[in-house]
């Protein structure tokens, strides 16, 4: 999941770029009329989608959720909609042939993150319509912004084309997965299926619909994202041959080794004396330094960024080493990381309990930058631990992506800039998202497509309670659902026309 509104506050002014798609302005007007007429249906479509959830992490209602999504694609005009089995949850492959010159790829997901219903103001799968001060009328529900709202806005665009009697300016190839929230472990099986791969190869690029306008209307355009591996390190008496199998009375600590201290010692080797810099053998071998253009973009962005405001919003008193401005921004974009997501051992309740735990677990994520790979990172981590006497510690990799990059000169990026500019949304070009998404599935061989997020509109709360998506915006700088759909309409025209 990409939550980069919290990552990036900077915006840089981009002048108005006359779009090639203005030639289609008559069509645009008719489609806008159709989109307005279909607004209520479009809202209801997203609500129904939220009411048909599937949670891959719990293997809950995945069949129904997949089937419902396939029906929505057929309903939106896709001519072929195929379920694509994988060793995990099935994916979806859909095509819409408009007889156009160019073809555009679209990426959907149909699974959603788990919920703790008691934490929500309204039941997470009710998809309640709520007035949200400062934003307008929103749908509250799990999946509202991640990704059923933005995806619904995209489908709303297709419905508007049809209702207006207009042909799509590009053909569409859509691939969807049901395991995004568990790290897309099998999505490559979908995109690399021969017929899917052949279809994707015809595409100009691929986008994941988004809705990340800030209150100012600003959006970011990311030219890539860090990769990552997510790992559990598990120290246990069982595997170590020292320490207890289960939890035993802590008085025995005098004569029994501690798997927890064994884990602590292993963790301590992963970072340098500053507690930050990755210290895994060979970790920086393939790290590519920032290019001059990347530095230029970062410098531009950090000028417009207010460090004090960002620190305060995050509840952080200082960045690493007290760095600020461009230095911190370069570090954010360029540095691989070693992060402890969680620690679990022994007694975790209130107060204490005199046990010597038989097992200790650290949950880690490692963000990767070009040209590191997830495969390389796993191998180096294992070798590093083994070399230092921690070969018994289980390295359980639950997910991983390679870093992803898309050229600034690609049509997908240039079209975004044009559409955002026409919409009056300041678009900041950022060399690399510090978060991760499975973009490398598309940008790396064998698919090798430009890939990025695109969308107007706003929603937030992905993975959190009260996730929402704005359907009627009370802020003139931010698009509601119809405006978001029209952004996709313009984007498809732009992709058809851009040189």
Of 354-373, binders to its own copies (CB under 8 A) are 354-358, 360, 363, 365, 367
24 vs 493: CA distance, rounded Å: 8
Q: Which stretch binds its own copies (CB under 8 A): 29-37, 81-89, 189-197, 235-243?
A: 235-243
Estimate to the nearest angstrom the gap between the alpha carbon of 458 and the chain centroid. 15
Dihedral angle over CA of 454, 367, 188, 412, nearest 10:
20
| Residues 43 to 72 in contact with its own copies, rule: CB under 8 A | 57
Q: How far apart are CA 78 and CA 72, in angstroms?
A: 9
Contact status: 332 vs its own copies (CB under 8 A): yes
Closer Cβ to its own copies, 392 or 494, answer by number: 392
User: Concatenated DSSP letters for 28-75?
Assistant: HHHHHHHHHHTHHHHHHHHHHHHTS--BGGGTBSHHHHHHHHHHHHHH
Site for its own copies in 175-194 (CB under 8 A): 182
Residue closer to its own copies, measured from CB, 95 or 334: 334
Contact 173, 104 (CB under 8 A): yes
Q: According to CB under 8 A, which one of 337, 372, 404, 441 is a site residue for its own copies? A: 337
Cis peptide preceding 13, ω within 30 of 0? no
- What is the distance between the alpha carbons of residues 276 and 309, in angstroms, rounded to a whole number? 23
Q: Could you say whether residue 237 binds its own copies (CB under 8 A)? A: yes
CA 267/CA 384 separation, integer angstroms: 11
Backbone angles phi, psi at 255, to 5 degrees: -130, 5
Q: Tell me which residue has tokens 């097992």.
A: 359
Distance CA 156, CA 75 (A): 11
- Nearer Cβ to its own copies (286/417): 286
Asked if 344 is part of the footprint of its own copies (rule: CB under 8 A), the reply reads yes
Give the contact letters, 390-429, x = binds to its own copies (CB under 8 A), - = no: --------xx------------------------------
Q: Based on CB atoms, which residue is closest to its own copies, 25 or 251?
A: 251
Give me the residues paired with residue 308 across strands. none
Question: Which of the ranges 128-136, 171-179, 432-440, 481-489 carries the binding residues for its own copies, by CB under 8 A?
Answer: 432-440
Determine which residue in the list 253, 382, 422, 477 makes contact with its own copies, applying CB under 8 A: 253
Binds its own copies (CB under 8 A): choice among 27, 177, 180, 230:
230
For residue 249, the minimal CB distance to its own copies (Å) is: 6
**348 sits near its own copies (criterion: CB under 8 A):** yes
Give the whole-angstrom CA distance, residue 480 versus residue 454: 15
Residues 6 or more apart whose Cβ sits within 8 Å of residue 273: none
Cβ contact 155:76 at 8 Å: yes
Q: Taking CB under 8 A as the rule, which mask of x and - marks residues 134-163 in contact with its own copies?
A: ------------------------------
The answer to whether residue 262 forms part of the interface with its own copies (CB under 8 A) is: yes
- Are the C-beta atoms of 346 and 353 separated by less than 8 Å? yes
| Least distance to its own copies, CB of residue 109, Å | 16
CA atoms within 13 A on the CB side of 92: 29
**Scanning residues 271 to 300, which ones bind its own copies (CB under 8 A)?**
271, 275-276
Given the complex with its own copies, which of 156 and 237 has the nearer CB atom? 237
CB of 52 to its own copies, least distance (A): 24
Residue 34 to residues 68, 162, 187, 359: CA-CA distances in angstroms?
24, 9, 35, 61
Residue 343 is a binding residue for its own copies (CB under 8 A): yes
| 365 versus 402: smaller Cβ distance to its own copies | 365
Smallest distance from its own copies to CB 471, Å: 26
Question: What's the DSSP call for residue 182?
Answer: G
Nearer Cβ to its own copies (99/275): 275
Among 36, 48, 126, 257, binds its own copies (CB under 8 A): 257
Q: Which of 134, 194, 351, 476 binds its own copies (CB under 8 A)?
A: 351
The CB-of-248 to its own copies minimum distance in angstroms stands at 5
Tell me the site size for its own copies, rule CB under 8 A: 85
Whole-angstrom Cα distance, residue 471 to residue 480? 5
Q: Which of 252, 299, 379, 386 binds its own copies (CB under 8 A)?
A: 252
Question: Of the two residues 17 and 239, which places its CB atom closer to its own copies in the complex?
Answer: 239
Closest CA to 299 of 281, 277, 279, 325: 325
Q: Which two tokens stand for residue 136?
A: 């307008």
Minimum CB–partner distance for residue 397 and its own copies (Å): 10
In terms of Cα–Cα distance, which of 91, 84, 110, 107 is closest to 174? Answer: 107
Sites for its own copies among residues 79-108 (CB under 8 A): none
Nearer CB in complex with its own copies: 180/204: 180
249 part of the interface to its own copies, by CB under 8 A: yes
DSSP-derived secondary structure letter, 290 = P
Binder of its own copies out of 12, 129, 264, 304 (CB under 8 A): 264
Cα atoms found within 13 Å of the Cα of residue 33, Cβ hemisphere only: 10
Q: Measured from the CB atom, is 106 or 328 closer to its own copies? A: 328
How many C-beta neighbours within 10 Å does residue 349 have? Answer: 6
């Amino acid at each position: 999941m990409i939550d980069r509104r919290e990552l990036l506050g900077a915006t840089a002014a981009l002048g108005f770029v006359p779009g090639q798609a203005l030639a289609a302005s008559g069509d645009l007007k008719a489609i806008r009329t159709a989109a307005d007429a279909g607004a209520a249906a479009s809202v209801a479509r997203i609500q129904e989608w939220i009411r048909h959830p599937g949670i891959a992490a719990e293997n809950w209602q995945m069949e129904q959720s997949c089937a419902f999504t396939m029906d929505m694609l057929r309903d939106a005009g896709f001519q072929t909609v195929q379920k694509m089995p994988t060793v995990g949850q099935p994916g979806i492959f859909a095509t819409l042939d408009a007889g156009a010159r160019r073809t555009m790829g679209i990426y959907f997901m149909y699974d959603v993150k788990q919920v703790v219903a008691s934490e929500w103001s309204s039941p997470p799968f009710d998809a309640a319509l709520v007035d949200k001060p400062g934003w307008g009328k929103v749908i509250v529900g799990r999946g509202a912004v991640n990704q059923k709202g933005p995806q619904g806005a995209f489908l709303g665009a297709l419905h508007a084309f049809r209702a207006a009697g207009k042909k799509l300016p590009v053909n569409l190839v859509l691939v969807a997965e049901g395991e995004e929230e568990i790290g897309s472990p099998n999505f490559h099986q979908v995109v690399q299926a021969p017929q899917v791969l052949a279809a994707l190869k015809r595409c100009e690029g691929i986008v994941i619909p988004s809705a990340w306008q800030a209150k100012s209307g600003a959006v970011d355009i990311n030219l890539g994202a860090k990769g990552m591996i997510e790992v559990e390190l598990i120290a246990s008496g069982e595997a170590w041959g020292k320490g207890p199998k289960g939890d035993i009375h802590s008085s025995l600590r005098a004569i029994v080794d501690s798997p927890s201290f064994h884990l602590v010692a292993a963790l301590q080797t992963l970072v340098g004396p500053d507690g930050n810099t990755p210290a895994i053998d060979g970790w920086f071998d393939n790290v590519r330094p920032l290019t001059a253009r990347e530095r230029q973009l970062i410098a531009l962005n950090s000028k417009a960024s207010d460090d004090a405001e960002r620190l305060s919003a995050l509840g952080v008193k200082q960045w690493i080493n007290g760095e600020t401005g461009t230095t911190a921004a370069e570090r954010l974009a360029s540095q691989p990381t070693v992060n402890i997501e969680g620690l679990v051992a022994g007694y975790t309740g209130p107060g204490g309990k005199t046990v010597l735990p038989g097992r200790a677990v650290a949950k880690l994520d490692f963000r990767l930058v070009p040209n590191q790979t997830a495969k390389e990172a796993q191998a180096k981590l294992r070798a590093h631990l083994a070399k230092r006497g921690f070969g018994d510690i289980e390295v359980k990799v639950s997910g991983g992506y390679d870093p992803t990059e898309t050229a600034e000169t690609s049509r997908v990026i240039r079209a975004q800039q044009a559409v955002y500019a026409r919409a009056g949304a300041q678009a900041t070009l950022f060399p690399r998202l510090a978060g991760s998404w499975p973009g490398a599935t598309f940008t790396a061989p064998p698919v090798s497509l430009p890939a990025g997020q695109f969308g107007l509109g706003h929603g937030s709360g992905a993975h959190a309670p009260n996730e929402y998506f704005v359907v009627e915006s009370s802020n003139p700088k931010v698009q509601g659902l119809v405006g978001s759909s029209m952004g996709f309409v313009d984007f498809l025209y732009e992709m058809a026309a851009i040189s």
